[in-house]
Amino acid sequence: MTSLKIYNTYNNKKEDYVPIHSNKIGMYVCGPTVYDFPHIGNARPLVVFDILYRVLIKFFNKYSVNYVRNITDIDDKIIERANELKISIKDLTEQVTEVFLSDCKYLNCLSPNYQPRATDHIKEMILMIEQLIAKKFAYVKDGNVYFEVSKFNDYGKLSNKKPKDLISGARVEVSELKKNPLDFVLWKPSKVNEPSWDSPWGKGRPGWHLECSAMSEKYLGNTFDFHCGGLDLIFPHHENEIAQSVCSNSTNFFAKYWLHNGYVTVNGKKMSKSDGNFISIQDLKQNYNGQIVRLAILGSHYRQPLDWNLKILDTNKKILEGWYEYYTGEHAELDDEFLNILLDDLNTPQFITHLHNLFSKVKTGDENARIKFNSALQFLGLFNESKEKFYASKKVSHLDKAEVERLIQLRNAARKSKDFGVADKIREDLEKNGIIIEDLNDTTTWKYK
């Protein structure tokens, strides 16, 4: 068995992983902002960093690994979406969170040790802001609190850019209240009818970047091993997390290793609802077993771009159906030859190539190869259900009663706000998933096909 090698975005090179503490491995993954149903772009980090978690458990044992993945349930996008649908923020975030957790099960992702919600950690966020102000890294202006980027010398190191270069064309909030365009908000006053909490600076709510810093500190400490997310989070989110956490806690670093998965496109284009190529995980549930989606995601190296299309899904569907003919359900230790492949920066494409090679032996009747084959697939998060259940899954709706009721509530809210495009899309999705709905006056009823 070799050591774990990880490509560290912070240093732009592949490095041998050396734990900060050999018996306490900390891993933080930026979770969803629960304003809309998760899409295939959200599915990729879920699956990719689930593989990292499985490798760490295998390498160090599950009691040594502390995996935290947050849920952002207060944010500008959430407020805007709730207003569009004319429903409460609580109803929206609870419904989308439930769908997200269901999607995680569909993709067979192991549950993190902790899944903290931002609104449960306002006290910790206020404390961090107070520390930053006391240390003169933050300033107050008209009820807003801003982090002063010029006070942090290493700002821009993660994104490998100088601060002056980040200002040009960057996703920075423009405000006359800020000393510098790159300064970012830690606390902002809430508008009328927006969620708010009491603070030393008046009623308001936290900035997005602060939320992750406060939650990761609570569950993992001032410094920890892995911080993971998509490439789109490098700047400004992760860059800002580093700045505020290092300055608040007076540490030399925040996370030791930074992992980022590549972008996901759909048929070569950026995914967007306006282009009609927005693919939610709910969409995929209608026609594909979650194992097929998982295998399709793992077919590309996590750091490379992934172009999503029906061909990928159908190809992996055929592959998995062929493999399932040799399913045994037996559990065995993962062979070191397979593990070593994953220890090289989570090289899932090579792992899958190795599975294809082993499959040639399996088909000849080699029983040892068949056991090794099954254990490798199980480790990858596949072969997690019986052959009978896998083949039957193509004919059964994946939506339970609670999920159907939630979707109907969202549809009714969309109809009430005259957003008929959204309402029609939900109806179509339900029908594709084997659910028939009927509207009579102000009442909607439903049944399975």
Residue located via tokens 């339900």: 430
Question: Do the beta carbons of residue 345 and residue 354 sit within 8 Å?
Answer: no
SS3 assignment, position 74: coil
What integer pLDDT is reported at residue 171 of this predicted model? Answer: 59
Nearest-5° angle of CA 224, CA 31, CA 125? 65
| Token pair recorded at residue 435 | 């659910």
- Of the candidates 158, 124, 188, the one whose C-alpha atom is nearest the C-alpha of residue 259 is 158
What integer pLDDT is reported at residue 396 of this predicted model? Answer: 46
The span from the CA of 203 to the CA of 208, in Å, is 16
Query: Domain 5-261 belongs to what topology?
Result: Rossmann fold (3.40.50)
Domain map (residue ranges) of the chain: 5-261, 266-395, 401-448
Please give the DSSP secondary-structure letter assigned to residue 308.
Answer: E
Residue located via tokens 């045994």: 328
- Of the candidates 117, 10, 114, 116, the one whose C-alpha atom is nearest the C-alpha of residue 74 is 117
What integer pLDDT is reported at residue 272 of this predicted model? Answer: 75
Nearest-5° angle of CA 422, CA 427, CA 430? 125
The span from the CA of 216 to the CA of 68, in Å, is 7
Distance of CA 311 to the CA centre of its chain: 24
Question: Do the beta carbons of residue 230 and residue 260 sit within 8 Å?
Answer: yes
Question: Do the beta carbons of residue 31 and residue 69 sit within 8 Å?
Answer: yes
Taken in order 140, 141, 144, 146, is the CA torsion positive or negative?
Answer: negative
Distance of CA 73 to the CA centre of its chain: 14
Q: How many CB atoms lie within 10 A of CB 363?
A: 12
The span from the CA of 327 to the CA of 313, in Å, is 20
- Say which residues have a Cβ less than 8 Å from residue 260's Cβ, sequence separation at least 6: 9, 228, 229, 230, 231, 233, 234, 303
The span from the CA of 224 to the CA of 411, in Å, is 42
Question: Do the beta carbons of residue 31 and residue 76 sit within 8 Å?
Answer: no
What integer pLDDT is reported at residue 57 of this predicted model? Answer: 95
**One pLDDT digit (tens) per residue for the chain, 449 residues:** 479 999 999 999 999 999 999 889 999 999 999 999 999 999 999 999 999 999 999 988 888 999 999 999 999 999 999 999 999 999 999 999 999 999 999 999 999 999 999 999 999 999 999 999 999 999 999 999 999 999 999 999 999 988 888 876 555 677 789 999 999 999 999 999 899 999 999 999 999 999 999 999 999 999 999 999 999 999 999 999 999 999 999 999 999 999 999 999 998 998 877 777 889 999 899 889 999 999 999 999 999 999 999 899 999 999 999 999 999 988 889 999 999 999 999 999 999 999 999 999 999 999 999 999 999 999 999 999 999 899 887 544 556 777 888 888 889 888 888 888 888 888 888 887 778 888 877 788 887 65
- Of the candidates 61, 65, 92, the one whose C-alpha atom is nearest the C-alpha of residue 79 is 92
SS3 assignment, position 14: strand
| Token pair recorded at residue 405 | 């009721």
Q: Going by DSSP bridges, is the β-strand pair 269-270/435-440 parallel, antiparallel, or unpaired?
A: unpaired
> Element (H or E) spanning 54, and its range?
helix 40-60
Q: Environment class of residue 159 by beta-carbon count within 10 Å: exposed (0-12), middle (13-18) or buried (19+)?
A: middle
What integer pLDDT is reported at residue 131 of this predicted model? Answer: 98
Please give the DSSP secondary-structure letter assigned to residue 119.
Answer: G
Taken in order 172, 175, 177, 179, is the CA torsion positive or negative?
Answer: positive
Sequence-ordered strand ranges (E) for 195-271: 204-206, 224-230, 255-261, 264-266, 269-270
The angle, 0 to 180 degrees and rounded to 10, between the axes of the packed helices 290-298 and 89-106 is: 80
The length of the chain, given as a count of residues:
449
The span from the CA of 377 to the CA of 170, in Å, is 42
Residue located via tokens 């910790």: 124
The span from the CA of 6 to the CA of 193, in Å, is 46
The span from the CA of 96 to the CA of 102, in Å, is 10
Q: Going by DSSP bridges, is the β-strand pair 269-270/264-266 parallel, antiparallel, or unpaired?
A: antiparallel
Ramachandran quadrant class, 174 (left: phi over 0; alpha: psi -120 to 50; beta: rest): beta
